[in-house]
């Protein structure tokens, strides 16, 4: 059984409220951290090896160490709770059921970074969660863990919750900052990076909800102990939101030493595929990461078992591997149509493109239209190469990663399931009523 750090108390009734959270040892990490120096906290986070849990996997301690500290200029911590990646809903679970874990993590992180005003930017569709967070903030304030002179240390912290308007692009950190400043959520050109010029041109750290929540166990058990959990550079535990064709969709905390096979088929996690169907493919890290067919999902090209961690999932690069991403694990059984699935994703990215860059604005629309044609039995063979060409021209040629996120699913689908695209084109009548099926692979 995986070790639990973040969800260990999630089953306790009333854990959402300060009193219950406190009885379970809540805010002890904050008390400990406030007796440390900011540099000592930073060292613990660096030692832990914690990697950003939002998708990029960049080391959190290193990100914090980039924060500029010009004299007299306020600094900010902004928590990215704009969780909009299709298939990803782990942060929602944390905020809804254990909001104090995030508030406590923000207190420790803000103290370390020197932020006296910190923000949670939450996606508009999570309409009921801001009230939960604001209630937790009020409770923490009443108990002396927020506000002025926290626990007599002289450190002040206010936390504000800002609701987004429902745009996926505001999960990109600079678009988020624009939106937080009250402007349209268009990504900024980088550099300058937020660590130097972020919110209102002040040094800013933007971190995912899970990353900040993980700071609490890091301080509780020490960074060195956190680093012993997991494997290699995949330290600590990771929340995975699992959905699609599985018996037990939900949010799971894993320690990144289990195999993908165990995660899908064990009763402790997804509980297998309904009705004895066979596994066809999986997108293991949210809709932006490459889809992989079952054979490459369960084993690497060397025949080694594939594990649920950053390195193993990416083994083989984009040709045969995929990515841990945001941990949104989407399972597809033998009945799923890859062309339809890819078209649905293309429509999503086309809809969510902010329109600043031509390759993304135009290319996502072209990809959607071509995929729709193929899906509707009106495709031509040359459309497959055209799709490939368009995604190549988007990748790496845009201001923000949404362009890459739109290109990768199309590239991976063609790379691994080209036969299925060709079958659609060769069987324009049949493809409207039947799926290609797993037997053809």
Q: Give the binding site for ligand SF4 (CB under 6 A).
A: 169, 187, 353-357, 360-361, 398-400, 402-403
Report the nearest approach of ligand SF4 to the CB of residue 367 (Å). Answer: 13
- In the complex, residue closest to ligand SF4 by CB: 360
Residue with tokens 């967070």: 133
Report the nearest approach of ligand SF4 to the CB of residue 386 (Å). Answer: 20
Q: How many CB atoms lie within 10 A of CB 268?
A: 13
Distances in Å between the Cα of 407 and the Cα atoms of 194, 276, 309, 375 are: 26, 33, 23, 18
Report the nearest approach of ligand SF4 to the CB of residue 362 (Å). Answer: 9
Alpha-carbon span 81 to 91, nearest angstrom: 7
Q: Using DSSP, how many helices (H) and how many strands (E) does the chain show? A: 19, 11
Report the nearest approach of ligand SF4 to the CB of residue 350 (Å). Answer: 10
Report the nearest approach of ligand SF4 to the CB of residue 67 (Å). Answer: 24
Report the nearest approach of ligand SF4 to the CB of residue 383 (Å). Answer: 23
Alpha-carbon span 29 to 52, nearest angstrom: 20
Q: Select 42 or 170, whichever has its Cβ closest to ligand SF4.
A: 170
Q: Select 25 or 396, whichever has its Cβ closest to ligand SF4.
A: 396
Q: Select 167 or 343, whichever has its Cβ closest to ligand SF4.
A: 167
- Residues paired with 205 in a beta bridge: 77
Report the nearest approach of ligand SF4 to the CB of residue 394 (Å). Answer: 8
- Asked if 51 and 57 touch (Cβ cutoff 8 Å), the reply is yes
- Residues paired with 59 in a beta bridge: 51
Report the nearest approach of ligand SF4 to the CB of residue 185 (Å). Answer: 9
Report the nearest approach of ligand SF4 to the CB of residue 297 (Å). Answer: 28
Q: Select 150 or 399, whichever has its Cβ closest to ligand SF4.
A: 399
Q: Select 141 or 188, whichever has its Cβ closest to ligand SF4.
A: 188
Q: Select 296 or 402, whichever has its Cβ closest to ligand SF4.
A: 402
Q: Select 94 or 394, whichever has its Cβ closest to ligand SF4.
A: 394
Q: How many CB atoms lie within 10 A of CB 383?
A: 18
Residue with tokens 């911590």: 77
Q: Select 157 or 399, whichever has its Cβ closest to ligand SF4.
A: 399
In terms of DSSP H, where are the helices of 72-208? 90-97, 99-113, 129-142, 173-180
CB-based contacts of 141, cutoff 8 Å, min separation 6: 147
Q: Integer distance in angstroms from the first to the last C-alpha of the chain?
A: 34
- Asked if 241 and 213 touch (Cβ cutoff 8 Å), the reply is no
CA-wise closest residue to 146 among 110, 121, 192, 120? 110
Between CA 120 and CA 127, with CA 123 as vertex, the angle to 5 degrees is: 100
- Asked if 368 and 391 touch (Cβ cutoff 8 Å), the reply is no
Q: Select 170 or 279, whichever has its Cβ closest to ligand SF4.
A: 170
């Amino acid at each position: 059984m995986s070790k639990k750090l973040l969800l260990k108390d999630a089953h306790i009734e009333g854990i959402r409220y300060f009193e219950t959270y406190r009885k379970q040892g809540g805010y002890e990490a904050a008390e400990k951290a406030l007796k440390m120096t900011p540099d000592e906290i930073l060292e613990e986070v660096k030692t832990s090896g914690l990697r950003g849990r939002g998708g990029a996997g960049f080391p959190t301690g290193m990100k914090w160490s980039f924060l500029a500290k010009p004299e007299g200029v306020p600094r900010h911590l902004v928590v990215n709770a704009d969780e909009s990646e299709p298939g990803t809903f782990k942060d929602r679970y944390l905020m809804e059921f254990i909001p104090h874990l995030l508030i406590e993590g923000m207190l420790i992180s803000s103290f370390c970074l020197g932020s006296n005003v910190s923000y949670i930017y939450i996606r508009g569709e999570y309409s009921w969660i801001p009230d939960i967070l604001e209630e937790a903030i009020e409770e923490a304030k009443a108990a002396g863990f927020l506000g002025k002179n926290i626990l007599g240390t002289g450190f002040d912290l206010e936390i504000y919750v800002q609701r987004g308007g429902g745009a996926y692009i505001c999960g990109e950190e600079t678009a988020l900052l624009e939106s937080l400043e009250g402007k349209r959520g268009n990504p900024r050109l980088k550099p300058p990076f937020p660590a130097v010029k972020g919110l209102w041109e002040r040094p800013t750290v933007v971190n995912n909800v899970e990353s900040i929540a993980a700071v609490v166990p890091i301080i509780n058990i020490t960074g060195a102990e956190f680093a012993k959990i997991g494997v290699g550079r995949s330290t600590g535990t990771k929340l995975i939101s699992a959905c699609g064709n599985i018996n037990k969709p939900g949010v799971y905390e894993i320690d990144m030493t289990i195999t993908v096979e165990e995660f899908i088929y064990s009763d402790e996690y997804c509980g297998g595929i309904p009705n004895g169907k066979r596994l066809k493919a999986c997108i293991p890290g949210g809709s932006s990461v490459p889809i992989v067919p079952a054979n490459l999902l369960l084993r690497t090209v060397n025949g080694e078992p594939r594990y649920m961690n950053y390195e193993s999932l990416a083994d083989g690069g984009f040709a045969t591997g995929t990515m841990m991403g945001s941990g949104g694990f989407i399972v597809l059984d033998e009945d799923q149509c890859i062309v339809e699935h890819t078209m649905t994703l293309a429509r999503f990215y086309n809809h969510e493109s902010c329109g600043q860059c031509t390759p993304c604005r135009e290319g996502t629309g072209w990809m959607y239209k071509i995929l729709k044609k193929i899906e509707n039995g009106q495709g031509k063979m040359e459309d497959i190469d055209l799709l490939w060409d368009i995604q190549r021209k988007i990748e790496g040629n845009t201001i923000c990663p949404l362009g890459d996120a739109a290109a990768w699913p199309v590239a991976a689908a063609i790379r691994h399931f080209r036969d299925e695209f060709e079958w659609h084109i060769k069987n324009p009548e049949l493809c409207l009523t039947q799926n290609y099926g797993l037997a053809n692979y």
